[in-house]
C-alpha cells in the first residue's frame, strides 16, 4: 500500500500530535503513525483493571503551554485541567507538613516547623518566580545557534541579550548563579528546616539522574515550576479523565482539522534518498511517502534505530551516542478498593488530594540517588505519590481509587544486568512497604498493581532507558545544545527529517513546546504561514 | 618585635599571606605608605612550612605550585628575591594496586605511559581541547572580574571578543566549549577514555579541594581551572621551588621588605575602627591601634565581614549573601617524617620525584565523595602524595624522606566528631599506603595531621577551607565572593578585600592581591 502525504509524524505522543495539529492547521495533509493500538505516548489514560482509569506514565499537568491550548482549542475538544489543592510530606516521627494552594495556609503550616522558614518562603517564592518569568518566554522560541552567522540566529541572540540586559546587575548575577547551583545549596540559602527543604527540593530531582546535591538541580526545579494552571505560575493540576485527556483532545483537534492517525503502525525505517527524506517503512510492510518526516521519538531512537547509519555523518552519530539519556525513575500504579488511611493526617484534609511524599530530608533523597549511582534501585526511595481520583471522579467508580507512585531512583539495568521478574517484584515491594509505614492498612486495599521499571517504559512507549524527559536536563543538553550542538533547531543532517520530541528544546514534561516549535521551523522551511501559532507574549 | 608608635598609614593590609604580600608590594611601589599586619610570627599564611621532626622541613599545607601567576612574579621580582625553580615539571602517577601504574609526564600528561594506544590517541585529543578551553578562561583569571562598576557594554566586550576568537577556531571547538563547560568530568572522560587509572587521576584533580564528585555537573570546571595555571609558558604544570615552599614565601617576603613596607608580626586584628560609616584603621588584640583610611583584608571574607566588622554594621541583604557562602573545608593534610626512602612496587627511586595520586577510577572517586555529603569519612580515601625532599634534598636528612599527603573528602563537620575520627582516617590512609609500599608504616618517625578544623584553628580561616570558600562555578569570577565585592571593594567605604576568597581564588597565584591593589590605586587617584 502506498500513499502520499505532505508530512508524516512518527509517534502519537503529545509533542507529535501538537506538531501534527499546527501543520494540519497550516493547510498540510498530515499523517500520524503510532506503533501501539492506543495513542498518547506517555500521556495516556488506560483501563488496566475494569472501570479504573490509570494515568500510568505521566500523572500531573502544569507544564502544558496555555498558548498551545488556545491555538488548538483544546478545551473545546474536552480538555479540562483541575488545580491541585494541596500536598504533604510525612515525617518519620509521625507528623506531616502540609502545603495548600492558599498561600497563607501554606505559610501557616510551614510556621509549625519553622517560623523563620515561613518568613523566608516569601522571599524564596518571589525569587523563584522571577527566574521563571525570565525563562518562560524562551520556551516557545527556537534556540538560536551561537555558532551560526545567519541573520536569524544573530538577531535572536541579540534579542536574548537584550532581554538579559533588562535585569539589574544583581538580578543578572543571581540568575547566573541560580542556573548552576544545586537545589540543596539553593534551599540552604533560605531555609533551615529539613522537612521544609525536602518538600521544596522535590521539583529539583524529578525525572533526572541527579541528586538534590548535584549542581544544576536548581534549574530542574525551574523546569518544573515554569508551568501554570489557570495563569497561576508553578501550580499543578489534574487533567480530567487522566493524562490521556490531553492527547485525546489533541487527537480530536487534529482530526477535526482533517488529519489522519493510524495506530498499530510501527515505523522501522525512515526512507532516505540523496540525503533527503522520502518516506517511512513500517514493520507490517507498508510504506508511506512524504518529503517531510517528523520523529516524535527521542534522538537516540530516531537516529540510531530509524535511520540507516550510512545516511548520517559519522561525527553526528557519535554525538547522538554521547547524548545522555539516563533512566532514573520507575512507576508503580495501584488500583485501590477504598481510600487509604493516613493516621497522621486529619481525615479529609485537602493536603491528601495532591502530591504525597515520605522523604523528609535532603539526605534521604541524596542517599536514594547514591543507590542508583551504585547500579540498583533506591532501597529507601523517594516517592511522588498522587491519588487523582480524590479530585477527579471520572477515573474510578465511587469509593475506588487510582494511585500513582512515581519512584526515584530506578535504573534501566540492575547492576548492569537486565531487569528480572524477581527484581521487578522486589522493586514494587519496596514501594508498598514505604507506603505501609505511613498507612498500615494500605496493602489490604490493593486490587491491582502495575509495576513499571525503565524497561517497561522503553518497550511500551519507546522512551530510551525510560527517561521521562527523553534526555537529561543538564546544561550540556539545554537550549542550543539540545539535543546536539548545531542541530538544536529541530532539523537533522537529512534534509526533510525533523525531530519534535522532548529530546529537543525546551525539553521534557507534558509541555508541547518542542512539538509546536518544531512545527514552526518546518513551516518556515516549507515557506508556509505561521500566523496561527501565537507568540508567547501575546498570551502572557 | 619592633616597637611602633601609633601612626597613620596610607593603607593597612591585614594578613601576610601571599596575596597580602603581593598587594603590599604593589601598593608600596605606587608610593603609598603601607603597613602589613600578620597575626602569626612569620609570613606566609596557609603557605607556611614547619619542621615536623628534627631536620625534616616541609610545607604545612600546599606542597606544590601550579598556579603562580607570571604577572605576580614580575610585579614582585620574585626571581631577584630568591625564587629559583630547577626541576621544572613534576610528573604525576596514578598508582595501581597491581603495579600497572599510569604515568603522566610533561605538561599534564603530554606524554602518558601505561595506557593503550587508542586511549593515548583519545587522551591527547581531549587534553588538547581542554587546554584550549582553559586558555580561553585564562583571559579572565588574572584580571578583575566584571562588576557593578563596569557591567556596561565595554565590560562585556571582553566576553564578546573571547567568544569571537573561539568561533574563529572553528565551529567544532566553539560548540564543544559551550557543551562541555558545565559538564561533569565523568561524562567527559567516559566519552573518550577507557583507562580507569587515567580517568581516576583526572577526576581527582578536577574535584580536589571542592565538594563535588566526578559525577556532579560542573566538576569539569575544576580541571579547567587547574589547566589555566602555567609556569614559564608551560601549561598545567606543577613545580617545586629550590628550598621548598618556604623559599617561595621567603622570596615574597624579601620583595615586601625591599619595597619598603612596614610589616608587623604577632599583631592580630580584633576589629576595624569605623568613623562616619568609613573605615579609619584597625585595633589589634595586642592593644595597638593603627590608623588608615584604607584597609585591605586578605583574610577570609567570612572572617572579615562577620567577625571583624560584625553584622551590625552591614545591611541584612549583604549579610544574608555572605552567610550563604559555603566555606567548610573538605581537605586534610598529613605530613610524615620517614627514616628511610620508601620503596613503592613498580616504581624506581627516581620515579618517587613525582606527584603520586591514589584515585584508581571514576567510581572510586565518586564513592569517596558520597560519605562527605553526610558528614562522614570515606573508608578508602583518595589522596595525593609527594616526597618534597626528592625535589630538594636539603629538606630532610640524607637517606630519609618526608611524605606530604593531601587527603580529599574529609568534611569539616563530622557526625562522629573529629576527635574520634582522626586516628581512623590516618590509619586508613597509612594502611592503603602500606599496601603500595610495604614497611612504610614502620619507618614513620613523626607525623603531623591537620583536619579542616585544625586548619581553621591554626590559620584562623573559618571553616578551614583551603580556598577560604567553595571554588565552584556559582562562586567564581564576578560571583566571588559575592557579586557586590567582585571588584575587591566592600559596602564599607575604605575597606577592600583580597585573598583566596576573592577572584580568582585557590592556589598560590597572587592575582587577587595585585588586582585589589590596582583597584585601590585607581580609587585613590580618582
Burial (Cβ within 10 Å: 0-12, 13-18, ≥19) of residue B306: middle
Q: Chain A residues with CB inside 8 Å of B167's CB?
A: 147
Quickly tell me which residue has 512545527 as its cell: A519
Give the one of A146, A181, A485 whose C-beta lies nearest to B474's C-beta: A181
- Rounded Cα distance between B249 and B237, Å, is 19
Is residue A3 packed enough to be buried (19+ CB in 10 Å), middle (13-18) or exposed (0-12)?
A: middle
The predicted-structure confidence for A378-418, as pLDDT tens digits, reads as follows 999 999 999 999 999 999 999 999 999 999 999 999 999 99
Grid cell 609526564 in the structure block, residue: B105
Q: What gap in Å lies between CA A6 and CA A496, rounded to an integer?
A: 11
Contact between chains at A147 and B215 (C-beta distance less than 8 A) = no
Sign of CA dihedral B454, B457, B460, B463: positive
Could you tell me if B377 and B410 are in contact, meaning their C-beta atoms sit under 8 angstroms apart? yes
Q: Residues B134, B186: one domain?
A: yes
CATH classification of the domain holding B263: 3.50.50.60
Residues B156 and B212 in one domain: yes
Query: DSSP alpha helices (H): ranges in A439-479?
Result: 454-461
What values do phi and psi take at B101, rounded to 5?
Answer: -65, 155
Spatial CB neighbours of B393, under 8 Å, sequence gap ≥ 6 = none
Please tell me whether residues B121 and B20 are part of one structural domain.
no
pLDDT in the model for residue A537: 52
Q: What is the pTM of this model?
A: 0.96
Cα separation, A301 vs A470, in Å, equals: 10
**Contact residues for B128 (Cβ-Cβ < 8 A; gap 6+):** none
Same domain, B182 and B228: yes
- The helix or strand, by DSSP H or E, that contains position B232, with its residue range, turns out to be none
CA atoms of B361 and B367, how far apart (whole Å):
10
Question: How many domains in chain B?
Answer: 2
Lowest mean pLDDT among B61-65, B159-163, B481-485: B159-163
Of the candidates A172, A214, A363, the beta carbon closest to that of B216 is on A214
Q: Cβ contact (<8 Å) for B217 and A475?
A: yes
For chain A, the distance separating the N- and C-terminal CA atoms, rounded to the nearest angstrom, is 46
Q: Does B252 map to a domain? A: yes
Q: Is the pLDDT of residue B1 over 50?
A: no
Tell me the pLDDT tens digit for each residue of A158-188. 898 888 888 888 999 999 999 999 999 999 9
**pLDDT tens, residue by residue, A224-239:** 988 877 777 778 999 9
- Check B178 against A370: CB less than 8 A apart: no
Chain A positions touching B326 (Cβ under 8 A) are 185
Is pLDDT at A106 greater than 60 in this prediction? yes
Burial group, residue A432, by CB count within 10 angstroms (0-12, 13-18, 19+): middle
For residue B133, is it within any domain? Answer: yes
- Residue B320 within a domain: yes
**Predicted local confidence at residue A90, as pLDDT:** 97
Matching residue, cell 578583575: B144
Q: Is A476 on the interface with B (CB under 8 A)?
A: yes
**Which of A180, A322, A370 shows the shortest C-beta gap to B182?**
A180
- Which tens digits make up the pLDDT trace of B16-25? 999 999 999 9
Domain that holds residue B33: 11-47+245-326+469-525
* B252 shares a domain with B226: no
Domains, in order of start, for chain A: 7-45+58-80+240-323+468-525 (3.50.50.60)
* Interface touch B179/A370, C-beta < 8 Å: no
Chain centroid to Cα B327, Å, comes to 14
A47 interfacial to chain B (CB closer than 8 Å): no
Q: Report the distance separating Cα B498 and Cα B481, nearest Å.
A: 10
Given CA atoms A371, A377, A381, A382 in this order, what sign does their dihedral have?
positive
Residue B171 to residue A486, Cβ atoms within 8 A: yes
Residue of B nearest to A191 (CA): B324
Closest CA to B247 of B60, B19, B83, B22: B83
Give the residues across from A273 on adjacent strands.
Answer: A276
Crossing angle of the two packed helices A169-180 and A217-225, in degrees rounded to 10: 110
Is the domain of B159 the same as that of B120? yes
pLDDT tens column, B87-106 = 779 999 999 999 999 999 99
Same domain, B170 and B131: yes
Residue of B151, B167, B218, B221 to mutate, testing the A interface (most A Cβ within 10 Å of its Cβ) = B218
- Cβ of A474 within 8 Å of Cβ of B182? The answer is yes
Confirm whether B190 is domain-assigned: yes
In which band, very low, low, confident or very high, does the pLDDT at B311 lie, cut at 50, 70 and 90? confident
Count of residues making up chain B = 526
Nearest to B474 among A169, A180, A367 (CB): A180
DSSP B380-403: S--EEEE-HHHH-GGGS-TT-EEE
Does residue B128 share a domain with residue B219?
yes
From chain A, pick out residues whose CB is under 8 angstroms from the CB of B491.
none
Chain centroid to CA A322: 21
Domain boundary among B176, B202, B232: B232
Question: Do B250 and B222 belong together in one domain?
Answer: no
Distance (Å) from the alpha carbon of B72 to chain A's nearest alpha carbon: 29
The span from the CA of A339 to the CA of A402, in Å, is 9
Residue B13 has pLDDT above 90, yes or no: yes
Mean local confidence (pLDDT), A514-538: 87
Each residue's pLDDT tens digit, B177-230: 999 999 999 999 999 999 999 999 999 999 999 999 999 999 999 999 999 998
Sequence-separated (6 or more) residues with CB below 8 Å from residue B419: none
Q: Is B295 contained in some domain? A: yes
Residue A222 has φ and ψ, to the nearest 5°, of -60, -45
Q: How far is CA B124 from CA A340, B118, B166, B176, in A?
A: 60, 10, 20, 16
Cell of A185: 545549596
Per-residue pLDDT, A249: 98
Place of cell 566586550: B157
Torsions phi, psi for A60 (to 5 deg)? -135, 165
- CA separation for the pair A501, A506 (Å, rounded): 10
Domain boundary among B174, B198, B232: B232
In-domain check, residue B506? yes
**Model pLDDT, residue A2:** 58
| Closest Cα in chain A, distance from residue B171 (Å) | 6
How far apart are the C-alpha atoms of B491 and B515, rounded to whole Å? 18
Write the ipTM. 0.95
**CB-based contact, A213 to chain B, within 8 Å:** yes
Q: Is B518 inside a domain boundary?
A: yes
B contacts of A489 (beta carbons < 8 Å): none
Is B473 in Cβ contact with A146 (below 8 Å)? no
Sign of CA pseudo-dihedral A408, A411, A414, A416:
negative
Strand order in the sheet with A30-33: A260-262, A30-33, A7-10, A293-295, A497-499
Per-residue pLDDT band for A540 (boundaries 50, 70, 90) equals very low
Q: Are B312 and B319 in contact (CB under 8 A)?
A: no
Domain membership flag for residue B134: yes
Distances (CA, A) of B381 to A181, A343, A417, B463: 26, 45, 29, 21
pLDDT, tens digit (0-9, with 9 covering 90-100), for A37-78: 999 999 999 999 999 999 999 999 988 998 899 999 999 999
Residue A1 pLDDT > 60, yes or no?
no
Helix (H, G, I), strand (E, B) or coil at B449: strand
State the Cα–Cα distance between residues A436 and A380, nearest whole angstrom: 13
**Residue A287, SS3?**
strand
CB contact (8 A) between residue A480 and residue B191? no
Using CA atoms, how far apart are residues B430 and B440, in angstroms rounded to an integer? Answer: 8
Closest Cβ–Cβ partner in A172, A216, A485 for B217: A216
Instruction: Write out chain A residues lying below 8 Å of B374, CB-based.
Output: 363, 366-367
Beta-carbon separation of A214 and B320 below 8 A: no
Please indicate whether, in this complex, the C-beta atoms of B326 and A185 are within 8 angstroms of each other: yes
Nearest to A180 among B178, B218, B324 (CB): B218
Q: How many residues does chain A have?
A: 540
Give me the residue from A188, A363, A486 closest to B175, CB to CB. Answer: A486
The 3 state secondary structure assigned to A400-443 is CEEEEEEEECCCCCECCECCCHHHHHHHHHHHHHHHHHHCCCHH
Please count the other Cβ atoms lying within 10 Å of the Cβ belonging to residue B31. Answer: 11
Last residue of a domain, one of B174, B199, B232: B232
d(CA B480, CA B498): 11
Rounded to 5 degrees, φ, ψ at B41 are -90, 0
Percent of all residues in chain A with a pLDDT value above 70, rounded to a whole number: 99
**In chain A, which residue's Cα lies nearest the Cα of B149?**
A169
Residue A344 · residue A90 · CB < 8 Å:
yes
The secondary structure of A473-529 as a DSSP string is -SGGGSGGGSSSTT--SSB-SSBTEEE-STTSTT-SSS--HHHHHHHHHHHHHTT--
Residues B176 and B260 in one domain: no
Whether residue B253 is found in the same domain as residue B227: no
Buried b (16+ CB within 10 A) or exposed e, A446-457: eeebbbbbbbbb
Inspect the interface and report whether the beta carbons of A169 and B374 lie closer than 8 Å.
Answer: no
Do residue B169 and residue B220 come from a single domain? Answer: yes
Instruction: Provide the Cα torsion B101, B103, B108, B112; round to 10°.
Output: -110
Task: Say if residues A494 and A316 touch (Cβ distance below 8 Å).
Answer: no
Three-class secondary structure of residue B444 per DSSP: strand
Centre a 10 Å sphere on the Cβ of residue A269 and count the other Cβ atoms it contains. 15
**Could you tell me if B196 and B361 are in contact, meaning their C-beta atoms sit under 8 angstroms apart?**
yes
Average pLDDT in chain A: 94
* Grid cell listed for A496: 526533510
Closest CA to A86 of A345, A351, A348, A349: A351
Average pLDDT, chain B: 95
Q: What are the tens digits of pLDDT across the range B351-397?
A: 999 999 999 999 999 999 999 999 999 999 999 999 999 999 999 99
**Which one, of B244, B233, B205, lies nearest residue B221 by Cα?**
B205
Strands B92-94, B289-297: pairing is unpaired
Exposed, middle or buried: residue B473 (CB in 10 Å: 0-12, 13-18, 19+)?
Answer: buried
Q: Which three three-digit cell numbers place residue B289?
A: 591601634
Binding-site residues on chain B for chain A (CB distance < 8 A)? 148, 151, 163, 167, 171, 174-176, 178-184, 187, 191, 212, 215-218, 320, 324, 326, 366, 370, 373-374, 472-475, 478-479, 483-484
Instruction: Flag if B182 and A476 touch (Cβ within 8 Å).
Output: yes
Return d(Cα B240, Cα A335) in angstroms, integer. Answer: 68
Distance of CA B182 to the CA centre of its chain: 21
Q: What are phi and psi of B55, to 5 degrees?
A: 85, 0
Instruction: State the Rg of chain A over Cα.
Output: 23
Q: Which residues of A touch B484 (CB under 8 A)?
A: 170
* pLDDT average, residue stretch B325-350: 96
Amino acid at each position: 500500500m502506498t500513499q502520499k502525504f505532505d508530512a508524516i509524524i512518527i509517534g502519537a505522543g503529545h509533542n507529535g500530535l501538537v506538531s501534527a495539529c499546527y501543520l494540519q492547521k497550516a493547510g498540510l495533509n498530515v499523517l500520524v503513525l503510532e506503533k501501539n493500538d492506543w495513542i498518547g505516548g506517555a500521556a495516556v489514560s488506560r483501563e488496566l483493571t475494569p472501570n479504573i482509569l490509570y494515568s500510568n506514565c505521566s500523572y500531573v499537568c502544569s507544564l502544558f503551554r496555555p498558548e498551545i491550548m488556545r491555538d488548538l482549542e483544546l478545551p473545546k475538544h474536552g480538555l479540562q485541567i483541575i488545580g491541585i489543592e494541596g500536598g504533604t510530606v510525612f515525617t518519620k516521627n509521625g507528623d506531616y507538613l502540609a502545603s495548600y494552594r492558599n498561600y497563607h495556609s501554606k505559610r501557616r503550616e510551614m510556621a509549625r516547623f519553622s517560623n523563620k522558614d515561613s518568613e523566608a518562603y516569601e522571599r524564596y517564592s518571589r525569587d523563584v518566580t522571577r527566574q521563571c518569568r525570565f525563562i518562560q518566554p524562551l520556551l516557545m522560541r527556537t534556540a538560536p545557534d551561537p555558532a551560526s552567522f545567519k541573520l536569524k540566529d544573530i538577531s535572536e541572540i541579540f534579542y536574548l541579550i537584550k532581554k538579559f540586559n533588562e535585569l539589574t546587575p544583581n538580578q543578572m548575577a543571581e540568575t547566573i548563579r541560580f542556573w548552576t547551583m544545586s537545589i540543596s545549596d539553593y534551599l540552604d540559602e533560605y531555609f533551615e528546616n529539613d522537612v521544609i527543604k525536602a518538600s521544596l527540593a522535590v521539583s529539583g530531582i524529578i525525572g533526572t539522574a541527579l541528586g538534590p546535591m548535584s549542581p544544576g538541580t536548581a534549574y530542574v526545579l525551574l523546569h518544573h515550576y515554569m508551568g501554570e494552571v489557570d495563569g497561576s505560575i508553578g501550580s499543578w493540576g489534574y487533567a480530567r479523565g487522566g493524562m490521556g485527556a490531553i492527547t485525546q483532545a489533541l487527537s480530536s483537534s487534529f482530526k477535526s482539522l482533517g488529519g489522519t492517525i493510524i495506530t498499530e503502525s510501527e515505523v522501522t525505517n525512515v526512507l532516505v534518498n540523496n540525503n533527503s527524506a522520502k518516506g517511512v517503512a513500517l514493520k507490517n510492510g507498508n510504506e508511506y511517502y512524504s518529503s517531510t518526516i517528523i520523529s516524535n521519538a527521542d534522538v537516540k531512537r530516531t537516529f540510531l534505530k530509524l535511520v540507516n547509519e550510512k545516511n548520517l555523518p559519522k561525527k553526528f552519530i557519535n554525538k547522538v551516542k554521547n547524548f545522555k539519556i539516563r533512566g532514573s525513575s520507575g512507576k508503580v500504579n495501584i488500583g485501590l478498593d477504598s481510600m487509604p488511611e493516613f493516621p497522621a493526617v486529619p481525615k479529609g484534609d485537602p493536603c491528601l488530594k495532591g502530591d504525597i511524599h515520605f522523604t523528609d530530608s535532603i539526605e534521604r533523597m541524596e542517599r536514594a540517588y547514591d543507590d542508583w549511582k551504585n547500579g540498583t534501585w533506591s532501597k529507601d526511595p523517594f516517592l511522588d505519590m498522587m491519588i487523582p481520583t480524590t479530585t477527579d471522579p471520572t477515573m474510578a467508580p465511587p469509593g475506588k481509587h487510582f494511585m500513582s507512585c512515581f519512584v526515584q531512583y530506578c535504573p534501566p539495568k540492575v547492576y548492569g544486568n537486565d531487569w528480572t521478574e524477581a527484581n521487578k517484584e522486589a522493586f514494587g515491594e519496596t514501594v508498598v512497604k514505604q507506603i505501609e509505614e505511613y498507612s498500615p492498612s494500605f496493602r489490604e486495599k490493593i486490587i491491582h498493581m502495575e509495576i513499571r521499571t525503565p524497561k517497561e517504559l522503553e518497550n511500551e512507549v519507546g522512551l530510551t532507558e525510560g527517561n521521562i524527559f527523553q534526555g537529561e536536563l543538564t546544561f550540556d543538553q539545554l537550549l542550543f545544545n539540545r539535543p546536539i550542538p548545531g542541530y538544536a533547531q529541530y532539523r537533522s543532517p537529512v534534509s526533510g527529517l525533523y525531530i519534535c520530541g522532548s529530546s529537543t528544546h525546551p525539553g521534557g514534561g507534558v509541555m508541547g513546546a518542542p512539538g509546536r516549535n518544531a512545527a514552526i521551523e518546518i513551516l518556515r522551511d516549507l515557506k508556509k504561514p505561521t500566523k496561527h501559532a501565537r507568540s508567547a507574549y501575546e498570551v502572557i | 618585635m619592633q616597637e611602633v608608635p601609633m601612626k597613620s598609614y596610607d593603607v593597612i593590609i591585614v594578613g601576610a599571606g601571599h596575596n597580602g604580600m603581593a598587594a603590599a608590594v604593589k601598593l608600596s611601589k605606587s608610593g603609598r605608605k603601607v603597613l602589613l599586619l600578620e597575626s602569626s610570627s612569620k609570613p606566609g599564611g596557609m603557605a607556611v612550612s614547619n619542621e615536623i621532626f628534627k631536620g625534616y622541613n616541609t610545607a604545612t599545607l600546599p606542597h606544590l605550585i601550579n598556579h603562580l601567576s607570571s604577572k605576580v612574579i614580575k610585579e614582585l621580582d620574585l626571581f631577584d628575591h630568591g625564587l629559583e625553580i630547577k626541576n621544572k615539571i613534576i610528573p604525576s602517577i596514578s598508582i595501581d594496586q597491581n603495579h600497572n601504574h599510569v604515568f603522566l609526564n610533561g605538561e599534564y600528561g603530554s606524554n602518558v605511559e601505561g595506557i593503550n594506544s587508542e586511549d593515548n590517541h583519545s587522551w591527547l585529543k581531549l587534553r588538547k581541547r581542554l587546554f584550549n578551553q582553559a586558555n580561553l578562561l585564562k583571559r579572565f583569571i588574572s584580571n578583575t572580574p566584571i562588576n557593578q562598576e563596569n557591567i556596561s557594554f565595554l565590560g562585556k566586550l571582553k566576553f564578546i571578543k573571547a567568544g569571537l576568537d573561539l568561533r574563529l577556531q572553528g565551529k567544532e571547538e566553539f560548540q564543544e566549549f559551550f557543551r562541555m563547560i558545565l559538564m561533569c568530568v565523568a561524562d567527559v572522560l567516559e566519552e573518550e577514555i577507557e583507562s580507569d587509572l587515567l580517568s581516576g587521576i583526572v577526576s581527582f584533580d578536577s574535584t580536589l579541594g571542592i565538594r563535588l564528585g566526578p559525577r556532579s555537573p560542573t566538576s569539569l570546571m575544576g580541571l579547567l581551572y587547574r589547566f589555566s595555571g602555567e609556569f614559564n609558558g608551560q601549561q598545567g604544570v606543577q613545580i617545586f621551588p629550590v628550598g621548598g615552599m618556604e623559599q617561595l614565601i621567603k622570596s615574597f617576603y624579601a620583595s615586601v621588605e625591599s619595597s619598603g613596607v612596614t610589616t608587623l608580626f604577632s599583631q592580630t586584628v580584633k576589629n576595624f575602627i569605623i568613623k562616619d560609616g568609613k573605615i579609619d584603621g584597625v585595633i589589634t588584640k595586642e592593644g595597638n591601634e593603627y590608623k588608615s583610611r584604607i584597609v585591605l583584608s586578605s583574610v577570609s571574607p567570612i572572617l572579615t565581614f562577620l567577625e571583624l566588622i560584625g553584622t551590625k554594621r552591614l545591611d541584612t541583604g549583604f549579610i544574608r549573601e555572605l552567610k550563604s557562602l559555603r566555606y567548610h573545608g573538605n581537605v586534610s593534610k598529613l605530613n610524615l617524617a620517614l627514616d628511610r626512602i620508601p620503596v613503592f612496587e613498580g616504581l624506581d627511586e627516581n620515579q618517587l620525584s613525582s606527584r603520586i595520586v591514589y584515585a584508581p577510577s571514576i567510581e572510586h572517586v565518586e564513592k569517596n565523595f558520597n560519605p562527605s555529603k553526610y558528614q562522614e569519612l570515606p573508608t578508602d580515601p583518595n589522596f595525593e602524595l609527594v616526597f618534597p625532599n626528592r625535589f630538594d634534598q636539603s629538606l630532610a636528612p640524607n637517606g630519609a624522606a618526608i611524605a606530604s599527603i593531601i587527603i580529599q573528602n574529609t568534611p569539616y563537620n563530622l557526625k562522629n566528631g573529629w576527635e574520634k575520627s582522626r586516628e581512623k582516617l590516618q590509619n586508613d590512609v597509612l594502611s592503603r599506603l602500606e599496601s603500595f609500599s610495604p614497611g612504610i608504616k614502620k619507618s614513620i618517625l613523626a607525623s603531623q595531621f591537620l583536619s579542616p578544623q585544625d586548619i581553621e584553628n591554626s590559620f584562623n580561616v573559618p571553616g578551614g577551607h583551603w580556598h577560604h570558600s567553595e571554588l565552584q562555578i556559582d562562586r567564581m569570577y564576578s560571583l566571588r565572593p559575592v557579586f557586590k565585592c567582585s571588584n575587591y571593594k566592600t559596602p564599607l567605604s575604605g575597606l577592600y578585600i583580597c585573598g583566596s576568597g576573592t577572584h580568582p581564588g585557590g592556589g598560590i597565584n597572587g592575582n587577587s592581591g595585585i588586582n585589589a591593589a590596582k583597584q585601590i590605586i585607581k580609587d585613590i587617584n580618582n
